[in-house]
Amino acid sequence: MQRINAMSGILTVLDERRKERYRIGCCFQPKTENWQPAPCSQRDLLKLFFERFYGPFLLRTPVKVFVMIMTAALVSVNIWGIFQLEQNFDPNWYLNEHSYPSEYFNAMRLYFPESGERASVYTGV
């Protein structure tokens, strides 16, 4: 996770430097003196789409009702699915069959079946 956070920070800084220098993508060519941005790059198409089409569409009453019903239905299905989960997990499934830890746990199950699982509590004191 730390590597992902570091890389996203580094890539954000590099992208901001690219934007400040008016570069397109990863092109490292020097700019000419009379450089002008392309007119099509000055329009924010996503903002235009949300303002003209998607926003007004979502603000209609039937669409609002449909979104609320779908949200309630999906939340209900997810809650039902959570209650249907069963925990059936054995960490020994991931051990090599002939490794020392696997043989140890097999012997523990064979000779001490009533003792259950071992647990340890670590404190910072």
Question: Which amino acid type is present at position 113?
Answer: P
Query: Mean pLDDT across the stretch 109-119?
Result: 80
Q: pLDDT higher for 19 or 13? A: 13
Q: What is the pLDDT of residue 29?
A: 65
CB burial of 4-38 (b: ≥16 within 10 Å; e: otherwise) equals eeeeeeeeeeeeeeeeeeeeeeeeeeeeeeeeeee
Q: What is the pLDDT of residue 70?
A: 98
Contact 105, 95 (CB under 8 A): yes
Other CB atoms within a 10 A radius of the CB of residue 108 amount to 14
The model carries a pTM of 0.47
Query: Mean pLDDT across the stretch 41-58?
Result: 90
Query: Mean pLDDT across the stretch 48-53?
Result: 94
For residue range 51-107, what is the model confidence (pLDDT) as tens digits? 999 999 999 999 999 999 999 999 999 999 999 998 888 778 889 988 998 998 888
Q: Does the pLDDT value for residue 30 go beyond 90? A: no
Q: What is the pLDDT of residue 99?
A: 92
Q: Where are the domains of the chain?
A: 2-27+41-84, 86-116
Contact 102, 93 (CB under 8 A): no
For the chain, the average pLDDT equals 85
Q: Helix, strand, or coil here: 28?
A: coil
Query: Mean pLDDT across the stretch 13-27?
Result: 74
Question: What's the CA gap between 31 and 28, in Å, rounded?
Answer: 9
Q: What is the pLDDT of residue 86?
A: 87
Burial class (CB in 10 A: 0-12, 13-18, 19+), 102: middle
